[in-house]
Chain A
């Protein structure tokens, strides 16, 4: 006779308990997105926060100085939409560039295309930084 407690459909391991939602677990990613590295700084990870902030901000600024293109939300083309998703990761830097009308020149030389890639990657790196700030806030990472 089969034991009813060991059926095949039953999960082997119990589910891990969900992480409690704390103020810091919401605030750190939000602040970290808006100001790169600030998600670490408000959790007193000073060196990590400053390194992340300087890396992402300098990368974004170099992208602008290389006359890179900042994508708009209503690009239409799928590649433009992907570019926008990358750019918007930079948070406050993207908002500032839109407000100041930066990065809207036509790409006219090879290094300007590098500038566009710098801008996108700065945003993508900030997404990673935001995820890291969240992991610190929930105690998953020291």
Chain B
């Protein structure tokens, strides 16, 4: 199996966000919101880190 760096990070974000959402909040609505927040933070962090590395490489 082969995954690109981005797709590997994306899959990682999905699974980690699901577990964080379920375990860190008490009711269903908060769980979904927190899961989505974690996913956004993971993916946002990947994109920001990617741009930082691109700037450093120039």
Contacts and interface: CB of A to CB of B under 8 A. Distances in A.
Interface of A: 48, 51-52, 55-56, 58-59, 62, 65-66, 110-111, 114, 117-118, 121-122, 125, 128-129, 131-132, 141-142
Nearest to A57: B15
B18 A55 contact: yes
B22 A118 contact: no
B12 interface: yes
A128 B23 contact: yes
A52 B3 contact: no
A48 B15 contact: no
Kindly list the 7 A-B residue pairs having the minimum CB-CB distance in the complex, ordered from nearest.
Answer: A65-B1, A132-B23, A55-B15, A125-B19, A55-B18, A114-B8, A59-B15
For B3, B8, B15, the residue with the greatest tally of chain A CB atoms inside 10 Å of its CB is B15
A52 B5 CA distance: 24
Main SS class of interface, A: helix
Interface of B: 1-3, 5, 8, 11-12, 14-16, 18-20, 22-23, 26-27
A64 B35 CA distance: 25
A75 to B, nearest CB: 23
Given A62-B1, A65-B1, A66-B1, A51 B18 contact: yes
A66 B16 contact: no
B22 A51 contact: yes
